[in-house]
Amino acid sequence: MNTRDHYILTGARVVDPARGIDEVMDIGVANGIIVEPSSIRKPEKIDLSGNIIAPGFIDIHVHLRQPGNTGAETIATGTMAAAAGGFTSILAMPNTNPCCDSAGTIELIKRESERNAKVRVYPCGCLSKNSDGKEMAGIGSLKNAGVVALSDDGRCIQNNELMRHVVAYAKSFDLPILDHCEEESLKGDGVMHEGKWSVLLGMLGIPSAAEELIIQRNIIFSRMFDWKIHMQHISTRESVEMMRRARARGIKVTAEATPHHIALTDENIKKFDTNYKMNPPLRSEDDRQAVIKGLKDGTISIIATDHAPHTMTAKEVEFDYAPFGIIGLETAIPVCLTELYHSGILSMSELVSKFTVGPATLLGLNAGTLEPGTNADITVINPDEEFVYDVNTSFSKSRNTPFHGTKFKGRAEATIVGGNFVYRRKEQ
């Protein structure tokens, strides 16, 4: 980490969607805060010509595995991977062991983050006790402990009456709900998307309806209580259509897309590589295009990684028995620049907004902008460098990615948190 008190970033294109800025300009930093460059006397100047300076990227969907499964990831390694990926803040998912259904576990995560995290870690609390969908968690005590959102990520409350009460309580404590939308009886023992390729490969499928039923339920509850329900990793055409209609009516629902659902489809599973196994599963090309359209028209306002590390031992089994999930913190920017920006689908400002304005608005964070007076959390991007991703250089403890050996255009160049360089690629 490079510690500097006062400096000016010069020569770069500044993209700050929250303020409608997209131009070459200087950014001043003093004592960890964004300031007007002219206010700094005798500053150090750091030339970032050829790069893009953006507000610090925020990932609202990260599994750090600590406490409980530190063989796959820790707060230290996961946040270093986040820094290398260009993220300055992450929301830590609550499906740890023990899970985040008590103030004690939240305090443990906060203390470990203070000691070892390279980026800002915001804790997320459980919706239900033990995330088993049977009894509501102590939402008030979780709020007092410092959680900024609620989720049973990895699981989904099936009891609609319980979910109704959870939404009401979440609103009373001003906590957004992030839901893994999945109707379990329809999912069954499925391991991939139900469609042409599941039939050809002879695998049990997960129908699109398993996601869509819960999304419609959540839209209804969001309308009933006028409260924020966020749909994690939506993946189907109908999911996007339902969200589009609901948002047009002013219902307080939001959605995220993952880089892997933007770039990959169920056809990739013909390789029988368990690094293509995730939940929700990779869908059809038609679904992928619908997700991209949703990103373009604003229906999907957030991109999140669903970084889900697993050990090599866990993944090196038959496809049916492998756990769902892939790592994604260090490939998110390369995937999205390649698939969305360089393809002409999203402008740079539109893309940056999905990682800044969208997440900050949902979580109510004073972040997502480079406005003077805010924390100096900054993501520096080299938009044009071509490279081949090598997972063996990852800072994560795990290696479960489908993108090893993929050629990308664009990557994170540096990451600044509170004015400190927590990652700079050329110094690694």
Both tokens of 356, joined, read 């800044």
Evaluate whether 280 touches 206 at the Cβ level (below 8 Å): yes
Residue 306 falls in the annotated catalytic set: yes
Residues 6+ apart with CB under 8 A from 131: 94, 95, 99, 101, 152, 154, 155
Report the C-alpha gap between 266 and 278 in whole angstroms: 10
Q: Describe the chain by its helix, strand, coil percentages, rounded to 5.
A: 35, 25, 40
Which sign does the torsion angle of CA 169, 175, 176, 180 carry? negative
3-class state of residue 203 by DSSP = coil
| 75-84 helix and 103-116 helix, angle to the nearest 10 degrees | 60
Both tokens of 135, joined, read 């009894």
HSE (CB half, 13 Å, CA atoms) of 412?
A: 29
Q: How far is CA 190 from CA 78, 250, 268, 276, in A?
A: 29, 34, 17, 14
Q: What are 302's strand-pairing partners?
A: 256
Of 322, 354, 321, nearest to 336 by C-alpha is 354
Residues 6+ apart with CB under 8 A from 94: 100, 101, 123, 124, 125, 126, 131, 151, 152, 153
Q: For 103-136, what is the HEC assignment?
A: HHHHHHHHHHHHHHCCCEEEEEECCEHHHCCCCE
Q: How far is CA 377 from CA 72, 83, 97, 371, 421, in A?
A: 27, 11, 30, 11, 9
Tokens 């304005």 belong to: 357
Given 306, 320, 377, 384, which residue is catalytic? 306
C-beta atoms surrounding 188 within 10 Å? 14
Tokens 């200087």 belong to: 26
Indicate which residues carry an active-site annotation: 306
